[in-house]
Structure 1
């Protein structure tokens, strides 16, 4: 399975925020949408990604006052993206090596989706189950 198939199944909606949104507003957006990261976008270009982990780290380092500062102050600026033609194995390797749980999907410089580690694991489990069922069928019916 590739990223294109994942996006077709789960949808291409991505929650984005402007860089100047407050950290608190970004946290509220995460909670409202029940997601773990928002992509920070300005002029239709990815500027960074802000995860739950970034918010916790900001509050731990800077205290409660961090919540009033711009999300851009705490976002991860070096955003690793993937393309629609990346496969599940490539994506798992990328997420493991880079230690990211969310990877925006970019095509022709445009943000076209986002994939989480949960999406990847869900698809991989489905693939393994399909393979096991195919083997069962082959063994049972030769």
Structure 2
């Protein structure tokens, strides 16, 4: 399965904050949306990503105040991205290797979606279930089975 197929199923909703927003505003938005990360955008250009992990490691554990710390101060600015034509398996590999949970999807330098580890796992499980069902159908139909 390709990323574009996954986005067709889950939708292309993109939730973002500005680099100048406070970390508190970003965390508040994540809580409202029940999500674990937001892309950081400026003039429709991807500048970074901020996650719950960034908040934990760069605000709470450093003794910073979330209301007075700007997103740009703690965001991850080296963002790993994928394209709509990349495979879901590649996404799983990237997420595992880089220890990340969210991948922005870029098409011609434009952000067209974001996928999470949950989206990827759900897709893999769905594909495996479909393969198992197809194999069961094949076996029970007797097609090509000499027995």
Short-chain TM bin = over 0.9
Q: Report the secondary structure of 1:65's partner residue.
A: coil
Counterpart contact for 1:59–1:67, Cα < 8 Å: no
Question: TM-score by structure 1 length?
Answer: 0.96
C-alpha separation in 1, matches of 2:7 and 2:30: 20
Name the stretch that deviates more: 33-42 or 65-74: 65-74
Name the stretch that deviates more: 74-83 or 55-64: 55-64
C-alpha separation in 1, matches of 2:10 and 2:85: 16
Q: Name the structure 2 match of 1:47.
A: 47
C-alpha separation in 2, matches of 1:111 and 1:73: 22
Counterpart contact for 1:58–1:66, Cα < 8 Å: no
The 3 A distance-change label for structure 1 pair 113 and 14 is same
Q: Give aligned pairs, total.
A: 142
Check if 1:81 corresponds to 2:88: no
Q: Name the structure 1 match of 2:21.
A: 21
**What RMSD, in angstroms, separates the aligned Cα atoms of the two structures?**
1.0
CA-to-aligned-CA distance 1:22-69 (integer Å, 9 cap, x gap)? 000000000011111000011211110000110111233332524421
Structure 1 unpaired stretches of 5+? none
Q: Which runs of 4+ in 1 moved over 3 A?
A: none
Counterpart contact for 1:102–1:115, Cα < 8 Å: yes
Question: TM-score by structure 2 length?
Answer: 0.93
Q: Report the secondary structure of 1:39's partner residue.
A: strand
Structure 2 unpaired stretches of 5+? 143-147
Between Structure 1 and Structure 2, which shows a larger proportion of helix residues? Answer: 1
Name the stretch that deviates more: 38-47 or 62-71: 62-71
